[in-house]
């Protein structure tokens, strides 16, 4: 369980070291060893951050949906499910933001524009906004259970509408036949080492995500326990009001 | 005599604040229980907990045999709560308000008419928009909708407030006849003398608990 | 008082009738929201300042004005519930939340439909839109299907964002991303109906299909999700 002085345990420390090593390896492979792209030159190296980021974001939101579904499915489920869902949502928003920013930078360097209205990028922006809304609802207050129920239902609604939005946006852009202008990352030729670096990135980012979620959900648990302890004190103070 | 309300060490929170900090309360069928206590003592929250509106954070409670922790939604159709608000739609007339109420609780036309007659809101008043009524008149509308509910337990929060003297007498008569028909009444009131004459038992609430 | 399905249907109808009666009595839609929507359409003309462009983008403007006005109508729909604790009273009476959802959605749909008709008429007048009979029929179908979707999703998120403690400001943030498919689909279908930019009427029907999927999905989901989202 969590140590006295923080949210780390020996397991997370080992995981953390592994993550650092893998990220270092990724940096080496991505920035040094792997080749440049024929067309894009060195700018293709953004791919090693951009693609793993969005991949991790999808995992994050999938986890949020799963934990929310589990929380709602039982009569008296542990609040831990809701905490993991919330932590995962927060980290997911972080990774989507990274993905959007790196994607925008990549577009700027390759095609000269910060933004193109292609299906994937637009859907990603919607994903970002939807989960920002999810986080906003989590801040609405109330008891832990009220927050959990509200957020869980909202997370499942998000899982439902994201594909719908993506589908609509794809249909929308297909009208304009701009596939050639589309993503910088759509037409990159990947040789062996580049592919390996990409997979390395996926694994490294996923492990980073796991490490972040473990810590965040533990800090959420401590926050909840703190406010529960505060409740105990408040109850005593309240009873002492009587007759005052 | 069966127990209709049974609360034990109940803690209920409003956000982070413990409105109820460990309440014990037992109410038998047919009683008229008066909750007394200073402002902010937790009387309103106690009534809302009994109505199944507020969740219980700690402790245990049963209303009409139903467990408040797991199944409080089931209590709601059997219990009537009159809170500080009147539950009226301000842009509808009295008649429209009560007809809507009647259709949501499957009451008949005659029941509505009878309730309106009892609370003296029939006739000219029936066609007045709720926003144009006085506070006391709105209170009577709210009480009429409560009558139509045919609830087993009546939970009333300051029911006399805003009513004129005649209205208060009518309310007392109404509560007595409800109890005579098998209901139980729990009311929170600052009106000591009148309420004392009405109640079978008094419970003092202070600091979120029963003193 | 058991909640059989006959009762639920009656409750839903009662709730819808109640909401529409409130609107009839207070005339907020006619006196406040419709003029607001019309002003928005006029402001678009000021901002875009080009007759050709206006005619080309008229469908988009109609639906943008609809979405912005919808926020106001939804908030009004729930303000009437919390003004005197009426929704609370309904909850404590054990009235089925799914039935309340259906009733409020229907009332919202009716109000939105009236608003959209007015906006389409405004577009015809202000932006020089011309429709064939086939286009007009397609426009009506688009309005109906899109409105069903907007009504249900609006009631769902409106319920969540209702009440005190600074929640109302959440409604735009939560709702507008969700209705993006409706905006996309309805605009494309309306373009086909108006014949803007040379689109033919037949191109609009696939988009109406998308709107139908959205509508069915959120009617079903909303009925189930409304209770848990709104309850304490």
| Predicted pLDDT at A183 | 52
Residue C37 banded pLDDT, cuts 50, 70, 90: very high
User: Between A172 and C175, whose confidence is greater?
Assistant: C175
Selected for mutation to probe chain B from C94, C164, C166 (highest B CB count within 10 Å) is C94
Q: Least CA distance to C6: which residue of chain B?
A: B106
- Cβ <8 Å between B208 and A241: yes
ipTM over 0.85: yes
Q: Smallest CA–CA separation between C61 and chain A, in Å? A: 17
- Mark which residues 43-72 of B lie under 8 Å from A by CB: 55, 57, 70
Most confident of B103-107, B109-113, B183-187: B183-187
Q: Stretch A184-193: mean pLDDT, rounded?
A: 64
* Residue C28 pLDDT > 60: yes
Helix, strand and coil percent figures for chain B, each rounded to 5: 40, 30, 30
Residue-number span of the structural domain to which A101 is assigned: 49-227
* Residue A1 pLDDT > 50: no
| Predicted pLDDT at A48 | 86
| Cα–Cα dist A219/B189, whole Å | 45
| Predicted pLDDT at A27 | 84
Radius of gyration of chain C from its Cα atoms, rounded to whole angstroms: 18
DSSP state at residue C168: T
- Mark which residues 152-171 of A lie under 8 Å from C by CB: 153-154, 156-157, 160-161, 164-165, 167-169, 171
| Predicted pLDDT at A235 | 86
- Summarize pLDDT for C102-127 with one digit per residue, the tens: 999 999 999 999 999 999 999 888 88
Asked if residue A244 belongs to a domain, the reply is no
| Cα–Cα dist A61/A80, whole Å | 16
**Domains identified in chain A, total number:** 1
Q: Least CA distance to C185: which residue of chain A?
A: A168
- Summarize pLDDT for C180-208 with one digit per residue, the tens: 999 999 999 999 998 877 778 888 899 99
- Cβ <8 Å between C221 and A130: no
- Residue B114 DSSP SS3: helix
* Residue C68 pLDDT > 80: yes
- Cβ <8 Å between A160 and C217: yes
User: Between C130 and A3, whose confidence is greater?
Assistant: C130
Selected for mutation to probe chain B from C18, C22, C28, C98 (highest B CB count within 10 Å) is C18
Residues of A in contact with C221 (CB under 8 A): 157, 160
Asked if residue A238 belongs to a domain, the reply is no
* CA C79 to chain centroid: 17
Pairs of residues, one from chain B and one from chain C, whose beta carbons lie less than 8 Å apart:
87
Q: Stretch A97-114: mean pLDDT, rounded?
A: 88
| Predicted pLDDT at A181 | 43
Domains of chain B, residue spans: 3-210
Residue B95, chain A, CB below 8 Å: the answer is no
* Residue C1 pLDDT > 50: no
Q: Smallest CA–CA separation between B11 and chain A, in Å? A: 8
The DSSP result for chain A, as a single string, is ---TTSS--HHHHHHHHHHHHHHHHHHHIIIIISPPBTTTBGGGGGHHHHHHHHHHHHHHHHHHHHHHHHHHHSSS--THHHHHHHHHHHHHHHHHHHHHHHHHHHHHHHHS-S----HHHHHHHHHHHHHHHHHHHHTT-S-HHHHHHHHHHHHHHHHHHHHHHHHHHHHHHHTTT-TTTS-GGGS----HHHHHHHHHHHHHHHHHHHHHHHHHHHHHHHHHHHHHHHHHHHHHHHHHHTT-
Say which of C156, C221, C229 has its CB closest to residue A150. Answer: C229
**Domains identified in chain C, total number:** 1
User: Between A176 and C140, whose confidence is greater?
Assistant: C140
For chain C, give the mean pLDDT: 90
Of A42-51, A211-220, B135-144, C100-109, which gets the smallest average pLDDT? Answer: A42-51
| Predicted pLDDT at B41 | 85
- Cβ <8 Å between A149 and C228: yes
* Residue B210 pLDDT > 50: yes
Q: Least CA distance to B48: which residue of chain C?
A: C92
Of A24-28, A182-186, A221-225, B6-10, which gets the smallest average pLDDT? Answer: A182-186
Asked if residue A9 belongs to a domain, the reply is no
* Residue A228 pLDDT > 90: no
Q: Least CA distance to B54: which residue of chain C?
A: C232
Domain B3-210 part of CATH 3.40.50.300: yes
Q: How many CB atoms lie within 10 A of CB C50?
A: 10
- How much is the pTM? 0.90
Q: Stretch B109-138: mean pLDDT, rounded?
A: 88
Residues of C in contact with A161 (CB under 8 A): 177-178, 181
Residue B14 banded pLDDT, cuts 50, 70, 90: confident
Asked if residue A113 belongs to a domain, the reply is yes
Residue C65 banded pLDDT, cuts 50, 70, 90: very high
| Predicted pLDDT at C64 | 95
| Predicted pLDDT at A184 | 53
Q: Smallest CA–CA separation between B45 and chain C, in Å? A: 13
Burial annotation A7-31 (CB, 10 A radius, 16+ → b, else e): bbeeebeebbeebeebbebbbebbe
| Cα–Cα dist B19/A235, whole Å | 9
Instruction: Give partners of B (≥3 CB pairs < 8 A).
Output: A, C
Q: Least CA distance to A226: which residue of chain B?
A: B16
Residue C165 banded pLDDT, cuts 50, 70, 90: low
- Cβ <8 Å between C86 and B55: no
Between the CA of residue B39 and those of B19, B24, B43, B189, C192, what are the distances in Å?
12, 19, 8, 10, 64
Q: Stretch B23-35: mean pLDDT, rounded?
A: 92
Of A16-25, B93-102, B192-201, C60-69, which gets the smallest average pLDDT? Answer: B192-201
Q: Smallest CA–CA separation between A151 and chain C, in Å? A: 9
| Predicted pLDDT at B167 | 84
Residues of B in contact with A142 (CB under 8 A): 15
Tokens 């050639």 label which residue? Answer: A180
Q: How many CB atoms lie within 10 A of CB A240?
A: 11
Say which of A141, A145, A239 has its CB closest to residue B21. Answer: A239
Q: Stretch B15-21: mean pLDDT, rounded?
A: 84
Percentage with pLDDT > 70 across chain B: 99
Say which of B17, B57, B208 has its CB closest to residue A239. Answer: B208
| Predicted pLDDT at B72 | 85
Of A14-18, A27-31, B51-55, which gets the smallest average pLDDT? Answer: A27-31
Residue-number span of the structural domain to which C142 is assigned: 5-230
* Residue A185 pLDDT > 80: no
């Amino acid at each position: 369980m969590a140590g006295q002085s923080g949210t780390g345990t020996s397991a997370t420390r080992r995981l953390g070291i592994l993550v650092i090593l893998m990220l270092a390896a990724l940096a080496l492979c991505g920035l040094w060893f792997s080749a440049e792209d024929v067309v894009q030159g060195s700018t293709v190296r953004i791919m090693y951050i951009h693609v793993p980021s969005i991949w991790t974001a999808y995992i994050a939101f999938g986890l949020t949906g799963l934990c929310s579904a589990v929380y709602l499915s039982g009569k008296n489920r542990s609040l831990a499910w809701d905490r993991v869902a919330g932590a995962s949502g927060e980290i997911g928003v972080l990774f989507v933001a990274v993905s959007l920013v790196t994607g925008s930078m990549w577009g700027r360097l390759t095609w000269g524009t910060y933004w193109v209205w292609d299906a994937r990028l637009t859907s990603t922006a919607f994903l970002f906004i939807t989960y920002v809304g999810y986080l906003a609802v989590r801040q609405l207050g109330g008891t832990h259970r009220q927050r959990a129920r509200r957020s869980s239902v909202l997370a499942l609604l998000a899982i439902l509408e994201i594909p719908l939005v993506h589908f609509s946006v794809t249909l929308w852009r297909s009208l304009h036949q701009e596939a050639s202008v589309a993503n910088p990352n759509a037409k990159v030729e990947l040789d062996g080492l580049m592919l390996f670096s990409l997979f390395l990135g996926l694994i490294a980012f996923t492990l980073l995500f796991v490490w972040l979620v473990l810590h965040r959900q533990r800090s959420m648990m401590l926050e909840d326990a703190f406010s529960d302890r505060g409740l105990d004190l408040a109850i005593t103070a309240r009873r002492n009001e009587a007759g005052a | 005599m069966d127990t209709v309300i049974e609360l034990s060490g109940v803690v209920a929170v409003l956000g982070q604040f413990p409105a109820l900090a460990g309440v014990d309360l037992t109410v038998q069928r047919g009683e008229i229980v008066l909750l007394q206590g200073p402002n902010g003592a937790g009387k309103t929250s106690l009534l809302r907990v009994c109505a199944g509106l507020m969740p219980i954070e700690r402790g245990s409670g049963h209303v009409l045999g139903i467990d408040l922790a797991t199944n409080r939604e089931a209590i709601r159709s059997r219990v009537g709560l009159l809170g500080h608000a009147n539950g009226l739609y301000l842009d509808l007339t009295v008649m429209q308000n009560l007809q809507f109420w009647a259709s949501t609780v499957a009451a008949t036309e005659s029941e509505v008419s009878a309730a309106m007659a009892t609370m003296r809101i029939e006739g000219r008043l029936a066609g007045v928009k709720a926003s144009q009524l006085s506070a006391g008149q709105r209170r009577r509308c709210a009480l009429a909708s409560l009558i139509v509910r045919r609830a087993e337990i009546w939970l009333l929060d300051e029911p006399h407030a805003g009513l004129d003297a005649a209205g208060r007498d009518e309310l007392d008569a109404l509560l007595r006849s409800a109890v005579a028909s098998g209901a139980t009444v729990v009311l929170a009131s600052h009106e000591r003398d009148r309420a004392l004459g009405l109640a079978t038992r008094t419970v003092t609430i202070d600091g979120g608990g029963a003193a | 008082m058991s909640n059989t399905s006959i009762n639920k249907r009656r409750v839903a109808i009662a709730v819808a009738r109640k909401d529409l009666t409130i609107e009839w009595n207070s005339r907020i839609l006619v006196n406040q929201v419709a003029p607001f929507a019309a002003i928005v359409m006029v402001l678009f003309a000021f901002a875009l300042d080009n007759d050709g462009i206006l005619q080309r983008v008229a469908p988009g403007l109609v639906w943008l004005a609809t979405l912005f006005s919808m926020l106001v109508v939804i908030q009004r729909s729930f303000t009437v519930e919390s003004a005197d604790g009426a929704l609370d009273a309904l909850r404590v009476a054990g009235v089925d939340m799914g039935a309340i959802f259906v009733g409020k959605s229907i009332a919202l749909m009716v109000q939105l439909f009236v608003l959209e008709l007015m906006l389409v008429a405004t577009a015809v007048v202000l932006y020089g839109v011309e429709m064939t009979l086939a286009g007009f029929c397609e426009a009506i179908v688009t309005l109906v299907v899109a409105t069903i979707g907007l009504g249900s999703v609006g009631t769902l998120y409106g319920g969540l964002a209702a009440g005190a403690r600074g929640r109302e400001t959440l409604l735009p943030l939560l709702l507008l991303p969700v209705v993006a498919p409706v905006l996309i689909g309805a605009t494309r279908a309306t373009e086909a109906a108006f014949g803007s930019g040379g689109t033919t009427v037949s191109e609009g029907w696939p988009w109406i299909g998308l709107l139908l999927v959205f509508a069915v999905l959120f009617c079903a989901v909303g009925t189930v999700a409304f209770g848990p989202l709104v309850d304490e």
